[in-house]
Chain A
Amino acid sequence: MDDLEQRLRRQLQEPEPAVPAAVRAAVLADGRAAATGFRKRRRFVRLAGASAAAAAAALLAVTLWLGHGGGPDFDVADAWRVASGLEHDRRFDQNGDGRVDRADADRMLAAIVALPTRRGS
């Protein structure tokens, strides 16, 4: 950096400008409101993902139940227990991505469709 550049730096650089406390508070309030909005949006997206997985799990469970002919050995209550438990059971993580979601349910459904039903056998 030559002499002119050093002079420019010395003469152009200003001390940090002061911002009134009320302005700072207003800006930070905007930031807090936005952050709250982002958190809610993330929760909604997570909930929507979980709902999709639960719906897929319910479909899978009902399919299982129908596959058993709706008999006393596997009733609709069993189906809902399976549905609610699927998401938290790592054994259903078919593709090994660390979570039980729609992709895993699709794989399980495809496998079930390929099985001969008790009624048909």
Chain B
Amino acid sequence: MTADPHHDADLLAAFCRGDAAAFEALYDRHHGFVLRVARRFCGDDDEALDVLQETFAWLCRKAPGLRLRHRLTTLLYPVTRHLAADRRRKRARGPQPAGGPGDLEQPTVELQVDGDLGDWLVGLGPLQQEVLALRYADDLSLEEIAAALAVPLGTAKSRLHNALAQLRERLGDS
């Protein structure tokens, strides 16, 4: 069966059948997203490239067990976020024991903002910044945001709504 290039699930299935070209297509489609997310959470361009490699190495190991209900970005996001945040923590405070308190913290987000909203966005909490980045920088739908964050759709909606409301309030007060 030929992989449908429009669907990540078909490319993933073709990769699991041994089609290296399907993996290349998935890489070409998603490496930009992975690199953006890696930079956002680890805050270092060189380390972000390492995270990019680690994320796709994870995909190579786990591909046969993965089941896609949305775009592959929803599966790559938590992996990239975890790997990048882990590197940032190690850089800042030295290695943390696996499963230690550091793993439970909301990682710091560094948004790349080209314009006047930068100062206002920095004042928001990391959860709000994260959901705004997924929606407006990465162009994920609300369903995809919910899947990427492993939260119910209602939580994703309310998180985005609250982030926009806080931002409007700050802009209105200025």
Partner of B35, one of A10, A17, A32, A35: A17
Q: Does B31 contact A (CB under 8 A)?
A: yes
Question: Digit string of A12-37 for contact with B (CB within 8 Å is 1, else 0)?
Answer: 11101101100110111011111110
Whole-angstrom distance between the alpha carbons of A84 and B138 in the complex?
A: 57
Is A114 at the interface (CB under 8 A from chain B)? no
Contact in complex: B115, A33 (CB < 8 Å): no
Say whether B60 faces chain A, with CB atoms less than 8 Å apart: yes
A35 near B136: Cβ-Cβ < 8 Å: no
Q: How large is the interface on A (under 10, 10 to 19, 20 to 34, 35 or more residues)?
A: 20 to 34
Q: List 7 A-B pairs, minimum CB-CB distance, nearest first.
A: A39-B18, A31-B23, A11-B115, A34-B60, A12-B137, A35-B20, A8-B136
Main secondary structure, interface of A, reads: helix
A31 to chain B, nearest CB (A): 3
Residues of B within 8 A of A23 (CB): 49, 52-53
The interface residues of chain B lying within 8 Å CB-to-CB of A20 are 49
Question: B113 contacts which chain A residues (CB < 8 A)?
Answer: 11-12
For residue A17, give the distance in angstroms from its CB to the closest CB of chain B: 5
